[in-house]
Structure 1
Amino acid sequence: MTTEPTPSSPETTPPPSEPTAAKTNYDPKIVGIVSYITLIDWIVAIIMNNPKTEFGSFHIRQSLGIMLLMFVAGFIMIIPVIGWILGLIGYLAGFVFWIMGLIGAIQGSKNPVPLIGDKAQEWFQAL
């Protein structure tokens, strides 16, 4: 006596699983910290901040404001003497703001950095 395999009936065949979108639920605190490291890490933080969180977006905007301050300070240093002085002041302020923002992200607080923090939140709302 030989047994033949029975064809699978449509009722017993499980439906094919649908591909699901990858969820990236990173801790918003990590997103905030990563956004302060370098420009490349800032881009990585934007990608990690999906779905957008208020805390992650806050620190991404703060970090962008600080990076722009440093860029402008470097550009101003093209001007001899007065530009060097103003650029140095801008770099020192940017460094202090960077430390303040990084510490705020580590502590989990949303305190804007002085002078540019509120403007960064206003200008870069889309991030």
Structure 2
Amino acid sequence: METTTDNGKNVAIIAYIFFIGWVIALLMNNEKKTSLGSYHLRQSLGIMCVGVILVIITWIVGIWILSTIINLAIFVFWLLGFLSAIQGEMKPVPVFGEQFQEWFKGI
């Protein structure tokens, strides 16, 4: 696995563009694996998974203000990950970022 290359940075950025971007980034990274691309694929997947789980929980509970706060937090995590990818850095997102690296280490 290479460290930082243009391909790795492109994969890292594309990984944050919705689910279809994540799939495209995964395919690109599988062609030529980079540590930066793999790192951000794991971060992005983790943000998506946690976001879906929390949205489902807030729908079940039915508390509108909680849903709004969670959506805002997920957006902030996405933005922090995206900015880290643009800068070519491997900074974990707050709260679960380190766990995402462990949970999705197969990527």
TM-score by length of 1: 0.74
Q: Give the counterpart letter for 2:44 in structure 1.
A: S
Q: How does 1:1-127 map to 2 (within 5 A)?
A: 27-49=7-29, 50-78=31-59, 79-81=61-63, 84-127=64-107
Q: What is the CA distance between 1:101 and its match in structure 2?
A: 0.6
Judge conservation of contact 1:26–1:48 (CA < 8 Å) in 2.
no
Secondary structure at 1:64 match in 2 = helix
- CA–CA distance in structure 2, aligned partners of residues 66 and 37 of structure 1: 12
Q: What is the CA distance between 1:89 and its match in structure 2?
A: 2.3
- CA–CA distance in structure 2, aligned partners of residues 76 and 85 of structure 1: 13
Structure 1: gaps spanning 5 or more residues: 1-24
Q: Percent identity?
A: 46
Judge conservation of contact 1:28–1:55 (CA < 8 Å) in 2.
yes
- CA–CA distance in structure 2, aligned partners of residues 124 and 92 of structure 1: 24
- CA–CA distance in structure 2, aligned partners of residues 112 and 51 of structure 1: 22
- CA–CA distance in structure 1, aligned partners of residues 7 and 102 of structure 2: 24
Q: Tell me which protein shows more helix as a share of its residues.
A: 2
Please list every run of at least 4 consecutive aligned residues from structure 1 whose deviation after the TM superposition is greater than 3 angstroms: none
Equivalent residues, number:
101
Q: What is the CA distance between 1:53 and its match in structure 2?
A: 1.0
Q: What is the CA distance between 1:43 and its match in structure 2?
A: 0.4
Secondary structure at 2:71 match in 1 = helix
Q: What is the CA distance between 1:73 and its match in structure 2?
A: 2.1
TM-score by length of 2: 0.87
User: Which of the two has higher C-alpha Rg?
Assistant: 1
